[in-house]
Amino acid sequence: MNASPPSTATDPVPRDASPPPPARIALLGNPNTGKTTVFNRLCGIRAKTANFPGSTVEARIGVTTRGSMRRHVVDLPGLYGLNLDRPESRTCKEYLRGRIELGPPPEAILVVVDATNLERNLILVSQAVQLGLPALVALNMTDLARRRGVRVDHERLAARVGCPVVPICARTGEGFDELFTALDTPRLSDAALPNGSDTPGATRWATATEAACVEENPTAVGRADRRTDRIDAIFTHPILGLLSFVVVMSGLFYTIFSLATLPMDLIELLFAQLGGLVGAVVPAGPIHDLLVDGVVSGVAGTLVFLPQICLLFFLISLLEDTGYLSRAVFVLDRLLRRFGLPGQAFVPLLSAHACAIPAIMSARLIPDLRQRIATILVAPLMSCSARLPVYVLLVGILFPRDPLAAGLAFTGCYALGAIAGLVTALVCRRTILSGSSPPMLLELPTYKLPSLRTALTTTMDR
């Protein structure tokens, strides 16, 4: 009997051998598709933020241990396309092609799409699956689609894009067991797709694919659209929209200051007791003064504002998740543009009332360079929470027995910061940052109930 020769390193791999499950997955999707909620479901709070080398574009990197193995998930910025002339589009495309390092290169792509607006998302899907990496599509917001009378045939969609499609609802966790199983077997697309640079062809393909895969109940869709239109008639109205904005922001700051009082008092009490304990142990002298009046008091003076900052970021995340913040940006664009600021500056300037540093960092999302610089210059002029005790002290000294005057003076301190910021932006627009401003194109996302899990995770990440 002849023995078969031993296999060598040059022997071909059997054709039916399946590749190992990917250990590093890039998460991609349009804005407002619930991509961040999907990432939070996959990785929880175990995430860190990293910058791409030589760029201000950020990505979040997390680890998921569910499924068959431990995986790293890289949450890329929300994109409308990989071929757009935008820094984040160029950077993400180069990263997916392995030309930019952010740790090991991705081994697969998970594209999150909105089931209620499939056509808009399909262009990015067609570009992503043609990059030569195994791909998987997560069909998100299926609960909203059902309520709107929209049904997506995910099996037919999988045949059209050439890779697996898993229906999920990131807000409730529906479909995530199937998604974790499917992460083991992403697939290289074998479908006939339009060239990524052929925008008209990609648009026609997306329209045809939606028509082939989506069934709509006209009555339910019309009812949902009418409900959205009625709400938008108030929130996007030139006058009613501004009044609604004032009411929402007043409620926001009232909630922050009222709810933060108790934890701030507890922090002050704890550090006062800690200072007393340290003072009782350490004898009087320079070391005593350094520890009690320097270290303990200094740390207390910083941590006492943490409840306000956390509440502000938490409430902003809730408003963003409902879809209202996009309406606020739209309403304020007409007003802010007169001072050389875009409507997108609203969110950084709102964050500046907690701390100017994250506000300046978030200004990078403003596409126009001049408007971005103007927002960065204006943000530190907003009244941040560190100035709050100074305002309280001055108002208490000037109006010790007149609550009405004290309240007006306190409000005036915040208004003065906003006025100074707008005047500074106007001066910059007329001098060093003069030039025409590009028009603002803004997508108004669907109204939906906010996710407390997403808001908490976003707050902890910030």
Tens of pLDDT, residue by residue over 278-306, are 888 888 888 877 887 788 888 887 787 78
Nearest to 214 by CA among 124, 159, 167, 150: 150
131 versus 387: the higher-pLDDT residue is 131
The pLDDT, as a whole number, for residue 430 is 86
Specify the DSSP class assigned to residue 291: I
3-17 pLDDT, tens digit per residue, is 444 444 444 444 445
Please tell me the pTM assigned to this model.
0.73
Query: Of 169-183, 187-201, 202-216, which range is least confident?
Result: 187-201
Q: Domain locations in the chain? A: 24-216, 245-259+305-461
421 versus 254: the higher-pLDDT residue is 421
364-382 pLDDT, tens digit per residue, is 778 788 888 999 999 998 8
| Assigned fold of 24-216 | Rossmann fold (3.40.50)
Q: What integer is the mean pLDDT of 85-94?
A: 82
Specify the DSSP class assigned to residue 81: -
Residues in CB range of 171: below 8 A, 6 or more apart: 34, 37, 141, 143, 448, 449, 451, 454
Strand-pair category, 150-152 with 214-216: antiparallel
pLDDT band of 125, cuts 50, 70, 90: very high
pLDDT band of 157, cuts 50, 70, 90: very high
| Alpha-carbon torsion angle 203, 205, 208, 212, nearest 10 | -130
Q: What integer is the mean pLDDT of 154-180?
A: 90
Q: By three-state DSSP, how is residue 227 classified?
A: helix
Angle between helices 261-281 and 306-322 (to 10 degrees): 150
> Is the pLDDT assigned to residue 267 strictly greater than 60?
yes
Q: What integer is the mean pLDDT of 38-50?
A: 73
Backbone angles phi, psi at 8, to 5 degrees: -120, 175
> Is the pLDDT assigned to residue 460 strictly greater than 90?
no
Residue 140: which H helix or E strand, with range? strand 135-140
The pLDDT, as a whole number, for residue 6 is 47
234-243 pLDDT, tens digit per residue, is 998 889 988 9
Q: What integer is the mean pLDDT of 13-32?
A: 73
Q: How many CA atoms lie within 13 A of 349 on its CB side?
A: 31
- CB distance 89 to 57 below 8 Å: no
User: What's the rounded Cα separation, in Å, for the pair 232 and 182?
Assistant: 38
pLDDT above 90 coverage of the chain, percent? 12
The pLDDT, as a whole number, for residue 2 is 47
> Is the pLDDT assigned to residue 264 strictly greater than 60?
yes
Query: Of 11-15, 58-62, 195-199, 430-434, which range is least confident?
Result: 11-15
